[in-house]
């Protein structure tokens, strides 16, 4: 398994600590309830959590940081959430 860089303080400062904490609780509870798994490398999950928290700070919703959005604000108005990640669909863990 390829190791990824650890999130830096600069990475963590992209989002509020309040929303980072909120997203950690969310992803851990989601994995527990859904029968899915967090990535085996916690640093990968931390990057995801930072991205989710950053989107909450920016547009009020935890948009998946893996996707590109032409208009984040417009996407945030949508009530749909479909994870297109192959890992989640096939292996039941979020990268």
| DSSP sequence for 32-73 | HHHT-EE-SSHHHHHHHHHHHHHHHHHHSS---TTS--S-HH
**Does residue 66 have an active-site annotation?**
yes
The Cα–Cα gap between 10 and 31 comes to 27
- Pick the closest to residue 61 from 75, 43, 50 (CA basis): 75
| DSSP sequence for 11-27 | HHTTS-HHHHHHHHHHH
Selected catalytic residue, list 66, 83, 85, 94: 66
Active site residues: 66
């Amino acid at each position: 398994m390829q190791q990824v860089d650890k999130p830096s303080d600069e990475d963590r400062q992209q989002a509020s600590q309040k929303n980072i904490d909120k997203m950690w609780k969310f992803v851990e509870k989601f994995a527990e309830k859904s029968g899915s798994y967090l990535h085996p490398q916690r640093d990968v999950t931390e990057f995801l959590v930072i991205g989710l928290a950053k989107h909450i700070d920016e547009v009020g919703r935890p948009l998946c940081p893996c996707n590109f959005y032409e208009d984040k604000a417009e996407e945030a108005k949508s009530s749909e959430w479909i994870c297109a990640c192959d890992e989640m669909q096939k292996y039941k863990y979020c990268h």
